[in-house]
Structure 1
Amino acid sequence: MADLRPIAAPFVALGPSGVAVRTRLKELTAEDEKVLRLVGAHLGSLAAKDLKARCVDGLEHSTESWAARKRNLTAQSSSRWAGSITKATHDQWALARRGQAAHAQSLEAGITTIRHRLSLPVGQKGTKRAPGGYRCAHEWFNKTRRLQVLEDRLHRVRADREAGRVHVVRGGKRLLGTRHHLDKAELAEAEWRERWEAGRWFLKADGESGKRFGNETIRITPEGEVSIKLPAPLAGLANARHGRYVLAAQVRFPHRGQEWADRVEANRAVAYRIHYDTRRGRWYVDASWQIPPARTIPLKAALAVGVIGVDTNADHLAAWRLDTHGNPTGRPRRFLYDLSGNTQHRDAQVRHALTRLLHWAKTCGVKAIAVEDLDFQAEKTREKHGRKCRFRQLISGMPTGRLRARLTSMADATDIAIIAVDPAYTSKWGAQHWQKPTTGPTRKTTRHDAASIAIGRRAQGHPIRRRTTPPRAHQSDVHGHRTVQAGPDTLGREGPRPRILGPRTRSVPPDAARTRATRTSNIVRDVRSVQEWVQDSLLLTD
């Protein structure tokens, strides 16, 4: 048997450290929209210039260069707008660097796989842990050419990384590429231009604690009044004091509205972002703020009343409730979602599925949900799975990291702990040990349902393998009943259960004798049937 990799211990996932809510800016006038477009375009051009300057600095960036960039921006906007722009620039540059490192790691993995397979004879079969040789000489030759392509790409990425160069597009590389394929995207040039300009606008301001309503640049009062500090070149458009423009829209945050109002009234920092949805023709405002991470409860306390094991799949969540001993109770549940369509639709589908899962968990009374700590970044490569295109699409479509992050944030409001477990062998061992025993005449247990049991048992510290059934005599009258599974830390768990007072027949409860003596029978019996029958002697007569 091949050596199994070590299984990591389960842990309680940390709660969210920030909050973001969104609402719509309704009843905007034509003048309001004109001002928002002008401010967004002006600040967007400044953000583009600042990003270019930051990319030119590369690894030579310093505090002095940052201060010089901020001074130049302040003259064309304001000090607070300049601070928000430079902060957004630094975040975007850092994100590009992380993506560059991940891309280099993916190329290295692909090159290693190709070199290994090229070193093997053509047609040699692989194992579960290592791929074999290529199927034919034609494929072997094409892979030698692909190896050169990947090596060239890796050389360029490493050179860029050493020089501090990043490739960033404000507005998104995908939208930029759509410009050359308008027919496939079913877009007119004017529609694409509107999306491109809206994606490059900048209307985002960081909050400041101690300032009025938590933000001096984009200010929203507790009554819902929205005002914007105009940049210096656009100060002539102000309709309020101190170069501010007040919008006609009155906003209200339906979600976490009271929490937002408490922060605003206490003058605590709240960051705002105003953006335009070109598809719907609507303006939105996002409010975000930081919160102290909630203290995680101990793992033992979270599992005190059982757990719900959840297996993540490409189109549904398979869940099953387990008691404190690791036994599945009730019926398995399945929460479906559809990940086709745009990003907003996929995000809404995941959110609705998690909402139903949390509602069911509250109904069951459990305080913990166990999910797999999945990461398919290393499993999506083309070289690892070769011709398994459908399998690569399957694992690429599974919302692993996004689902766990959203589940953690949503569960924080319901006082339900999220336990992350090692995903190794859960599907295989769950199907091996739990799929057949939990299948009955009226219920067919799927492989995913069995995997949810394995996930829940691993979170509880139980082995996934079911306990071996003892002999028939040991299950009943010889050594007592074994119907309840003891915990792994219970002393004498392998010994016989204690003697239960009363009759030793399963069908008769322990107090059956006392009950039978005190109750009145409902069956009317013939008196002659309980008396001794004696035959009288025959009467002899003359």
Structure 2
Amino acid sequence: MGGLREMAAPFVALGPSGVAVRDRLKHLTAEDQQVLRLVGDHLGMPASRDLKARCAAGLDHDTDAWAERKRALSVECSSRWAGSITRATHDQWGLARRGQLAHIQGLEAGVRTIAHRLSLPVGEKGSKQAPGGYRSRQEWHAKTRRLHVLTDRLQAARADWEAGVVRVVRGGKRLLNTRHHLDTAQLTEEQWRTRWETGRRFLQADGESSKRFGNETIRVTPGGEVSIKLPATLAHLANAPHGRYVLAANVAFAHRGEQWRDRVQMNRAVAYRIHEDTTRGRWYLTASWTIPPVKTVPWPAARAGGLVGVDTNAGHLAAWRLDAHGNPVGEPVRFGYDLSGTAAHRDAQVRHALIRLLHWAKRHCLAIAIEDLDFQAEKTREKHGRRKKFRNLISGMPVAKLRSRLVSMAAELGISIVAVDPAYTSRWGSQHWQKPLTSKNKKITRHDAAAVAIGRRALGHPIRRRTAPPPAHRSDEQGHRTVQARPGTPGREELRPRIPGPRTRSVRAGCGVNAENQDAQHRSGRPAEHEFWQQDSLPLSL
């Protein structure tokens, strides 16, 4: 019992706080595309200089420095363009800081693991809680050298963190390094140059409430007409009054189009971003705005009528419906997805699987229970060593994207998402539920049993399934031992009382002295087997 960690309490996940929709800019003329490229290149240069100034300021940056940067940019472009540039720079610097902190935490985890394994004798076996020593003297020597490398990297990263130094590349570090490996990337120098210039353009503007259609810089009318306020140096390219350029393309957002149209008609803030897809030769417009936080229902209300337990795996979502007592209802369901191919294909596969899951839960009017997974610290080679297939497996699972998409899509359908601690769900689900639920005509997998364990933890029930007593003792006089106690039942968390005399035909009197150790495998609660007995629709017929 001392080797198990404390379980975090289940909670209802908060809904999304923003919305983003995208539409293609069709039927753009050659002149339109040329103007967009000129404006993006013109604004990209001050954006790069502003990012450089922000990174040089480091931790000494304040609101006065922010205002000074905006005034310096307003000389080359309008104050609204300058405000959008400085705000984007601030967001990019903050993202780099968060990535830097995650990198430091990963290095610290690697150093701790290697130092622990080096302190053990060569060939010593490990346990479930901690890894053992290295297999050979050669591996021990190689890991000694790697420890010094990681320690040096950690010291340098900590020094940068304390000094507020970040390293950011506009256009992307990966694309920058691709310049030296054009043959491997199957790109020509001209193709790479086109992608590089496209990635460094700046064509985005923040919205402003009470202004016409919610944005004065990039304006989109309710009818779909798109116009841009040109910088002063490019005002000669305007084809509309007041230095504006109207594009030949119209937009009509298919998704959330009514919400977007209501906002622009009421002159509420909407931010826009125009970008080019060089691979397809297309231009896109993305509209985004903030929404009030979605009010979530309390946890007791979300679990009132049962819920759907979902186990996330590399190629599918295993789901099973549970009633309010934690008993599986019906048959397990799987929603598969294919994670091979391009990023767009993988993203579409995840969305399709989530849509089917949400529609299935909507038909039963139930909430969804899912693990609060985070594999950031679980996929390093120092933790899993030579298990490359397992490392690739967990690295390929779209945990963060799946979780964020599930929460946002469920909020639209009014479905609550209950997040639970993922510890031991697969192990205990397989131990306590896989065999009892398996029959001659139905084979239950480890993933299906894990879905039951996740659902029971979200309901507040212990994962362990109570076994039935001998037939002679299944009477109302002794009480049914498979009854599940409700989470609010008094005495549910207490130890089982000492009852003198024999309790069953196979157990002698006094053999229940270790009853307090029976609940070592579930921290969320213990089954009540005394005082008031409830027998509402309970037992599973196995």
3-state SS of paired residue (2:275): strand
Structural mapping, 1:148-227, within 5 Å: 148-227=148-227
Separation in 2, partners of 1:150, 1:483 = 53
Shift of 1:420: 0.3
Which residue in the other structure is 1:456 paired with? 455
Structural mapping, 1:110-121, within 5 Å: 110-121=110-121
Which residue in the other structure is 2:472 paired with? 473
Separation in 1, partners of 2:132, 2:2 = 17
3-state SS of paired residue (1:435): helix
Shift of 1:63: 2.8
Shift of 1:474: 3.5
Structure 1 ranges of 4+ moved more than 6 A: 476-484, 495-499
Give per-residue Cα distances to partners, 1:341-376, cap 9 Å, x unaligned: 33222221111110010011112222x100001111
Separation in 1, partners of 2:152, 2:437 = 53
Which residue in the other structure is 2:358 paired with? 358
Q: Indicate conservation of the 8 Å contact 2:123/2:133, yes or no.
A: yes
Q: Indicate conservation of the 8 Å contact 2:430/2:449, yes or no.
A: yes
3-state SS of paired residue (1:434): helix
Shift of 1:38: 0.7
Separation in 2, partners of 1:103, 1:482 = 51
3-state SS of paired residue (1:309): strand
Shift of 1:498: 8.6
Instruction: Structure 1: state its 5+ residue gaps.
Output: 500-542
Structural mapping, 1:265-344, within 5 Å: 265-344=265-344
Which residue in the other structure is 2:384 paired with? 385
Q: Indicate conservation of the 8 Å contact 1:235/1:243, yes or no.
A: yes
Give per-residue Cα distances to partners, 1:41-79, cap 9 Å, x unaligned: 111111111111111222222333322221221111110
Give per-residue Cα distances to partners, 1:100-150, cap 9 Å, x unaligned: 111111111111111111111111111111111111111111111111111
Shift of 1:476: 6.2
Q: Which amino acid aligns with 2:8?
A: A
Which residue in the other structure is 1:505 paired with? none
Shift of 1:470: 2.0
Shift of 1:487: 3.0
Q: Indicate conservation of the 8 Å contact 1:23/1:251, yes or no.
A: yes
Shift of 1:493: 6.7
Q: Indicate conservation of the 8 Å contact 1:305/1:324, yes or no.
A: yes
Which residue in the other structure is 2:525 paired with? none
Q: Which amino acid aligns with 1:251?
A: V
Which residue in the other structure is 1:254 paired with? 254
Separation in 1, partners of 2:68, 2:406 = 42
Q: Which amino acid aligns with 1:407?
A: L
Separation in 2, partners of 1:52, 1:342 = 33
Give per-residue Cα distances to partners, 1:15-60, cap 9 Å, x unaligned: 1011111111111111111111111111111111111111122222
Separation in 2, partners of 1:371, 1:498 = 28
Shift of 1:164: 2.1
Aligned length: 500
Which residue in the other structure is 1:129 paired with? 129
Shift of 1:458: 0.4
**Of 472-481 and 16-25, the range deviating more from structure 2:** 472-481
3-state SS of paired residue (1:269): coil
Structural mapping, 1:64-83, within 5 Å: 64-83=64-83
Q: Indicate conservation of the 8 Å contact 1:476/1:482, yes or no.
A: no
3-state SS of paired residue (1:241): coil
Q: Which amino acid aligns with 2:182?
A: L
Instruction: Structure 2: state its 5+ residue gaps.
Output: 491-527, 537-542
Which residue in the other structure is 2:398 paired with? 399
Shift of 1:488: 4.5
Which residue in the other structure is 2:56 paired with? 56
**Of 480-489 and 188-197, the range deviating more from structure 2:** 480-489
Q: Indicate conservation of the 8 Å contact 1:121/1:133, yes or no.
A: yes
Separation in 2, partners of 1:124, 1:498 = 51
Give per-residue Cα distances to partners, 1:195-216, cap 9 Å, x unaligned: 1111111111000011111000
Separation in 2, partners of 1:87, 1:497 = 59
Q: Which amino acid aligns with 1:446?
A: T
Structural mapping, 1:415-426, within 5 Å: 415-426=414-425
Q: Indicate conservation of the 8 Å contact 2:467/2:482, yes or no.
A: no
Give per-residue Cα distances to partners, 1:458-503, cap 9 Å, x unaligned: 000111111221221333687788887553545797577799xxxx
3-state SS of paired residue (1:444): coil
3-state SS of paired residue (1:88): helix
**Of 98-107 and 308-317, the range deviating more from structure 2:** 98-107
Separation in 2, partners of 1:379, 1:497 = 42
Separation in 2, partners of 1:410, 1:489 = 31
Q: Which amino acid aligns with 2:450?
A: A
TM-score (normalised: structure 2) = 0.89
Separation in 2, partners of 1:477, 1:369 = 35
Give per-residue Cα distances to partners, 1:195-244, cap 9 Å, x unaligned: 11111111110000111110000010111110000011111100111100
Q: Which amino acid aligns with 1:103?
A: H
Which residue in the other structure is 1:372 paired with? 371
Shift of 1:3: 2.9
Going from structure 1 to structure 2, the CA distance change for 1:180 and 1:490 (only over 3 Å counts) comes to: same
Separation in 1, partners of 2:61, 2:476 = 80
Going from structure 1 to structure 2, the CA distance change for 1:94 and 1:481 (only over 3 Å counts) comes to: closer
Shift of 1:396: 1.2
Q: Indicate conservation of the 8 Å contact 2:468/2:482, yes or no.
A: no
**Of 346-355 and 415-424, the range deviating more from structure 2:** 346-355
3-state SS of paired residue (2:274): strand
Separation in 1, partners of 2:120, 2:285 = 58
Using the aligned pairs only, state the percent identity.
71
Separation in 1, partners of 2:481, 2:54 = 70
Separation in 2, partners of 1:476, 1:57 = 77
3-state SS of paired residue (1:242): coil
Shift of 1:331: 0.9
Q: Indicate conservation of the 8 Å contact 1:480/1:498, yes or no.
A: no
Q: Indicate conservation of the 8 Å contact 2:39/2:203, yes or no.
A: yes
TM-score (normalised: structure 1) = 0.89
Structural mapping, 1:4-153, within 5 Å: 4-153=4-153
Shift of 1:386: 1.2
3-state SS of paired residue (1:436): helix
Q: Indicate conservation of the 8 Å contact 1:8/1:422, yes or no.
A: yes
Q: Which amino acid aligns with 1:266?
A: M
Separation in 2, partners of 1:252, 1:307 = 38
**Of 181-190 and 88-97, the range deviating more from structure 2:** 181-190
Separation in 2, partners of 1:253, 1:403 = 24
